[in-house]
Structure 1
Amino acid sequence: MANTPFVEAKTHYERFGVNVEEAFQKLSTIPISVHCWQGDDITGFEVTKRELSGGIDVTGNYPGKARNGEELRADLDKALSLIPGTHRVNLHAIYAETDGEEVDRDAIEPKHFKRWVDWAKEKGIGLDFNPTVFAHPKAEDGLTLSHPDPEIRTFWINHCKASRKIAAYFGEELGTPSLVNIWVPDGYKDTPSDRLTPRKRLKESLDEIFSEEYDESLVLDAVESKLFGIGSEAYVVGSHEFYLSYAQQNNKLCLLDSGHFHPTETISNKLSSLLLFNEKVALHVSRPVRWDSDHVVTFDDELKEIAHEIIRADAHERVNIGLDFFDASINRVAAWTIGTRNTVKALLYALLEPTNHLKELQEQGNFTERLALLEEFKTYPFGAIWDEYCQRQQVPVKESWLNDIKEYEENIQSKRV
């Protein structure tokens, strides 16, 4: 074999027992759940368009955003064609396609997502799902599943039940379980006089939502916490402690969003603890430049550390990795491509670490050599390995994918007016 940059790079890693071919094989089996809402700024397809709420905002007005399901799926097709590996797509309930009929969220049905399922079958990918518990008249005061009004609580309970039914439909039709994740914005702007009662109501609502059981071959239930939000700065009902406890007591997945914690907290540091006590864990990987600002994921230290923790724990089959960012200041298909390629890249970077050797050094107390190797590996010829993986996966190498984006923008997105 010719002495290509890949062959030469491979020899450096092999000196420490890293099998690059095995890393490629393992990486090809790890799906990333790509969030559909980056493609249209969380607008959705509801007949009545509503302003975002729940502490969520999308900034920027880059031209060419998707306006309907056909355009959004076309944009996802383009992004997925530029990303190595076979991945998943994560939907929100507001992406139901009702053909102009006004269907409120407590009445959505599997039939409203048939086009998504047909598309996913064509691509051979799985779909995940999220009830949309925000941006609605019944969420205007910032309370939903913990609302003191039982009629409002019942509306949102029924919406979440309908969402789980849709997820089961995905699981049945696509042959892979659909992760359905519940996040609600409930909280108070100022210090509450009673923290317990809203949490009691939230617990009771969740109990009712999960009263119907689905086989885990169809549905994986997850609950997602948040530290604070715009309009709920002082108190969020669904805190990390609340959902972590609820998930463990009720055999649900605890979903960690990298933007939903204190700025000095990292979800990478939480993974090993959760994996010790839970069979599965779910993630929403984002980049919180200023707390929960949901920037496009870059190849930064925390992304690499998240990947390292998953690989070091041999937990790539136990951690459901999803993305969650929305940037309307740049080409939206490029945002998907950058963020997802970086996540795959971080996993490969972690797979090329001599994990067992470094663990042995730590156990021996040889912290000098451990630190030295960790630092030296940062400048190992990783780029050549990544390029080879992209080439084998038949996606563009290096920045050449930008040409595809430019052409797509010129021929397709620029004509959306």
Structure 2
Amino acid sequence: MIKESLIHQAFEVAVERYAAVGVDVHKALNDMQKISLSLHCWQADDVSGFENQGNSLSGGIQVTGNYPGRARTIDQLRADILKAKSYIPGRHRLNLHEIYGDFQGKKVDRDAVEPKHFESWMQWAKVNDFKLDFNSTSFSHPKSGDLTLANPNDEIRNFWIEHTKRCRLISEEMGKYQNDPCMMNLWIHDGSKEVPANRLRYRCILEQSLDDIYSADYKNMKDCIEAKLFGIGLENYTVGSYDFYLGYGVKKNKIVTLDTGHFHLTESIADKVSSLLLFTPEIMLHVSRPVRWDSDHVVTLTDDLLDLAREIIRCNALDRVHIGLDYFDATINRIGAYVIGSRATQKAFMQALLDPIRLLCQYEDESKYFERLALQEEAKSLPWGAVWDMFCLQNDVPVGESYINEVERYEKEVTGKR
């Protein structure tokens, strides 16, 4: 346990050090308090859901590892999420996939799902100070195959159109209930292992499907469309590519989702932010860590993540960027994975809020590029960790590594007995 007096002492030093380069630490702390992450429910149970227990994953989704203690019931999942939340400073949201409905053991196919299947989630979220976000689920279903919304087969395509329409309605009811818009993300795995005879054909079908899905206007939810580079088993062609969804988003005024694992490893996701902000209403982020493309490793404090956070802050776009997490690691303690990834994402934004941006801009305006680069480098070693510790202390969550023992205790007392 870190002594509280030491945290305060280090914080006061940090306040002075940052003031010397024109940064108001107290303002940064206040701004940090406003940043909410949308925690992903699927980290706690390896993307299994409650639709039909025992189904294997398909449609480009894979989870590696078999660490003991996976949540197997809705009560276990909720308990694990609350435990993880207790170690993450700030107020946050919860992101659900459709397969996590409270189906009460009944078989409900995806074209029949209704808001009533998520009423208990809405009630639980309100009691536990969560706002909900939502996703349609096109994978791991007998009608998934290689194509869903881009399928030329009318029966299969209409099944998925109906499913997605119902997910939008559920999102609307969630937003209405919580008096805050529910972000409804659409991602499909549609593609081809080899090059198709006609790429345009399937993109025309997908555009028509989306137009049908989005024909109803809602006030309490926001639509997000998520691209992918390629899918496992569908390596040569992805119907819903970044270019497709960027074009559709600009044309139809939709929010484009940037998943940090869905691009080529050498692409800068940060560089896309300023362009998207010019032409689309908002941005949705799905933050993961791609080691070899979309491997969805637990998020850590990498240069790429820092660059992304800094770009959002420098664009003054916190009110237009929604930050969700999207990784699933079954090789380590799942609650620990939640906490590591969430806190790493927050640390990136903490550092971004503490950047001496006004002085950097001044140097740039005066063509003092040596000074700009020097300050960028020196800022990396400023005592941001002391400010982070104070943020944790103010939010009554474990400071530093002290949460490790608490996660281990929960494993011994709860998840290890499953």
Superposition TM-score tier, normalisation by shorter sequence: over 0.9
Confirm or deny: 8 A CA contact 1:48 1:102 kept in the other structure: no
Confirm or deny: 8 A CA contact 1:30 1:317 kept in the other structure: no
What is the aligned partner in structure 1 of residue 125 from structure 2? 120
Cα displacement string for residues 187-230 of structure 1 (whole angstroms, at most 9, x for unaligned residues): 01011110001000000000111111101xx1010000011111
Q: Which of residues 389, 401, 406 is equivalent to 2:391? A: 389
- Equivalent runs, 1:292-307 vs 2, <5 Å: 292-307=294-309
What is the Cα-based RMSD across aligned positions, in Å?
A: 1.2
Give the superposition deviation at 1:5. Answer: 1.1
Confirm or deny: 8 A CA contact 1:82 1:395 kept in the other structure: yes
What is the aligned partner in structure 2 of residue 11 from structure 1? 16
Of stretches 1-10 and 162-171 in structure 1, the one that deviates more from structure 2 is 1-10
Give the superposition deviation at 1:48. Answer: 5.2
Q: How many residues align?
A: 413
Aligned counterparts of 1:126 and 1:162: Cα–Cα separation in 2: 19
Aligned counterparts of 1:10 and 1:161: Cα–Cα separation in 2: 50
Look up the SS of the partner of 2:330 in the other structure.
coil
Aligned counterparts of 2:63 and 2:52: Cα–Cα separation in 1: 20
Aligned counterparts of 1:320 and 1:48: Cα–Cα separation in 2: 31
- Equivalent runs, 1:118-267 vs 2, <5 Å: 118-140=123-145, 142-215=146-219, 218-267=220-269
Cα displacement string for residues 124-177 of structure 1 (whole angstroms, at most 9, x for unaligned residues): 22100000001111012x100000101100000000011011111110111111
Aligned counterparts of 1:205 and 1:366: Cα–Cα separation in 2: 52
- Equivalent runs, 1:332-351 vs 2, <5 Å: 332-351=334-353
Give the superposition deviation at 1:111. Answer: 1.0
Q: Which of residues 282, 305, 310 is equivalent to 1:280? A: 282
Is 1:61 equivalent to 2:66 in the alignment? yes
Aligned counterparts of 1:85 and 1:199: Cα–Cα separation in 2: 41
Aligned counterparts of 1:260 and 1:123: Cα–Cα separation in 2: 32
TM-score (norm 2): 0.97
Confirm or deny: 8 A CA contact 1:23 1:352 kept in the other structure: yes
Query: Aligned partner of 2:178: which letter?
Result: L
Could you list the runs of 5+ residues in structure 2 that have no partner in the other structure? none
TM-score (norm 1): 0.97
Aligned counterparts of 1:316 and 1:292: Cα–Cα separation in 2: 25
Confirm or deny: 8 A CA contact 1:167 1:180 kept in the other structure: yes
Aligned counterparts of 1:307 and 1:47: Cα–Cα separation in 2: 38
Could you list the runs of 5+ residues in structure 1 that have no partner in the other structure? none
Look up the SS of the partner of 1:17 in the other structure.
coil
Aligned counterparts of 2:281 and 2:117: Cα–Cα separation in 1: 32
Look up the SS of the partner of 1:211 in the other structure.
coil
Aligned counterparts of 1:19 and 1:305: Cα–Cα separation in 2: 21
Aligned counterparts of 1:338 and 1:383: Cα–Cα separation in 2: 15
Query: Aligned partner of 1:146: which letter?
Result: A
